Amino acid sequence: MTLFDALILGALEGVTEFLPVSSTGHLILASQLLGLEQTNAHKAFEVAIQLGSILAVLFLYAKDLIKDKTLWIKLAVAFVPTGVLGFLFYKHIKALFGVETVSIMLIAGGIIFLIVEYFRRDKAIDSGKDLSELTYKEAFFIGVFQSLSMIPGTSRSGATIIGGLFLGLKRKSAAEFSFLLAIPTMMIATAYDLIKHRHEMIVDDYSMLAVAFVTAFVFAFFTVKLFVGFVSRHTFVPFAIYRIIVGLIFFYFVATLPA
C-alpha cells in the first residue's frame, strides 16, 4: 500500500462512515480500483481506520455524553444485538465481503429509504421525538436494525437511521444516535479485528494505518457537522437516490471485470 492509497482510503472512510451510503462498500470498491487485494490484513485495515472517524464523533459529542449518563446505557443496550450476532457469525459475515453483495444492499437500502420518506412526506422536516425521549426498548430495537449492517453494503448508519425513523425520531435525532452508537460498535469491532489479524499486519501496514487514521478523523469531523445541518432541513431522499445509482454502478463494475 502506498501513501496515496492510504490518503484515499482514509478520506473515503471519513466522508462515508456516517452517511447512510455504506463506508464498507465504498472501501471495498476503492480497494479494487486501487489494485489492493482483499486479504485478511487489508480487511482489518479497513475496519481499523474507522476508529479515526469514531474519535471524531467522541470529540464532537463529548459534552452530551458527559452530561447524559443514561445515553451510555442506551448505547450499551443498542449494541447488544450486533455484539452477539457479530461474535456468533463473524466468519460467515467476513465471507460476504464482495462487490456483488454491496451492490444489492446499496440498492435495497436506497429503496427502503424512499419508502420511509414517502410515508413521512406529510410531516414537517423537524417533526418527531428528540433523542432524550428514546426509551431503552427503542434503543434495543435500533440495535436490531444495526445488526443488519453486518451485511456489506447495508450501511451501519443507514440501518440505524432507518430504525430511528421507524420509531418516530426526528431525522436529526436518528442521525445523531447513529453517530453515537458507532462508538461502542466500531471500537469493539476494531479491537477484535486487529487482535485477530495482528500476525498478518506487517510493519509498513501500521505506518499507512496511521496516515489513513488521521485522514479519516479530519474528514469525519467536518462530514458529521455538515450532515447534521443537512438533515435538519432536508429529507434522506438524495442519499437514497445516491445509493441506488452507486449500486447500479457497482453492478456494472462487476459485469465488466475480467473472468
pLDDT grade for 50, boundaries at 50, 70 and 90: confident
- Enter the pTM of the model: 0.84
Tell me which DSSP letter residue 5 carries.
Answer: H
Q: Sorting pLDDT into bands at 50, 70 and 90, what band is 202?
A: low
Q: How far apart are CA 79 and CA 72, in angstroms?
A: 11
| Residue 232, φ and ψ in degrees, nearest 5 | -75, -20
Calculate the dihedral angle through the C-alpha atoms of 157, 27, 150, 191, rounding to the nearest 10 degrees.
-90
pLDDT tens profile 211-252: 999 999 999 999 999 999 998 888 999 999 999 998 898 777
For residue 107, name the pLDDT band (cuts at 50, 70, 90). Answer: very high
CA 122 to chain centre: 28
Nearest Cα residue to 234 out of 13, 20, 16:
20
Burial class (CB in 10 A: 0-12, 13-18, 19+), 56: buried
